[in-house]
Homo-oligomer: A and B are copies of this chain.
């Protein structure tokens, strides 16, 4: 099996996970959780979002979280930023990295950001420019690449044109999102082959959701194509905003189980990760949906 020896896992639970949970987690618990995550061996944590609290009240304490966490110097602490106002707050919070986001689907972009795709570019350009001027690296999420809840199939050529614009702005990495978890390995192979023919291989990351159980099969396909950067959320936090009870983000602990078994290095300590997952679970009114958390210590 031709697979990489080493993979980078980017933990998005504190942002993409918590933003889709109804429950409000106390700031001090988020801080403690992120501090625990910093001790697991993860090299990247997306800690919060500077989207206006009116839209995502769960992450309204982004500035406090950023200021209170204990930062380790070999870890990149990132935050989501939607526009110039968000950038201002992110710079005040002094995060290491800015994440921007838009959709490959016109309808999803409109519903999510309230702008057409064309209207979104100048807003993001201002963020990228402003962030980079202050020495921040900028990463972009492109969502609904493998399918849209409103439009269904998204033509890859449209997606590639959007991604080109994002790279032209100065992002260093693009995270390719299966936002509603519809992708299958054949489709992943087709899309990623076009992606790596167009952009630098190591400037691309994968962001899979496990809504239909295919996330790890899709990761496997990406590994076989040589991709080495994967987003995931500890415990499968976040659920799926489009389907009650369904799982959302690929769980970091499930991803790690497979990567460990495949002898791929991540630098992450399984036991410390389990500890951090148990901590955030204890602050919530539900059990985390990842397979590893459902099994617990029983086998």
- Measured CB to CB, the residues of A under 8 A from B are 1, 3, 149, 180, 182-187, 189, 210-217, 219-221, 240, 242-247, 251, 254, 257-258, 261-263, 287, 290-292, 294-296, 298-299
Contact = CB atoms under 8 A, between A and B. Distances in A.
Given A243-B294, A254-B212, A254-B213, A186 B299 contact: no
A298 B244 contact: yes
A1 B186 CA distance: 7
Given A213-B251, A291-B211, A298 B185 contact: no
- Copies of this chain, tallied across the complex: 2
A145 B261 CA distance: 15
Given A185-B1, A185-B258, A294-B243, A213 B210 contact: yes
A278 to B, nearest CB: 15
A254 B181 CA distance: 12
Contact of A257 (B212, B261, B291): B212
A230 B267 CA distance: 34
Nearest to A180: B299
Contact of A189 (B1, B219, B246, B295): B1
A184 B261 contact: yes
Contact of A245 (B1, B257, B294): B294
Nearest to A287: B245
Contacts of A298: 242-244, 246
Given A211-B291, A243-B296, 14 more contacts: A1-B186, A1-B189, A183-B261, A184-B258, A184-B261, A184-B262, A185-B262, A212-B292, A212-B295, A213-B257, A214-B216, A214-B261, A243-B298, A246-B295
Closest 5 CB pairs of A and B: A184-B261, A213-B291, A243-B298, A186-B262, A216-B217
Contacts of A242: 298-299
23 contacts: A3-B186, A180-B299, A182-B299, A183-B261, A184-B261, A186-B262, A187-B261, A211-B299, A212-B258, A212-B291, A213-B213, A213-B258, A217-B217, A217-B220, A220-B220, A220-B221, A240-B299, A243-B294, A243-B298, A243-B299, A246-B295, A247-B291, A247-B294
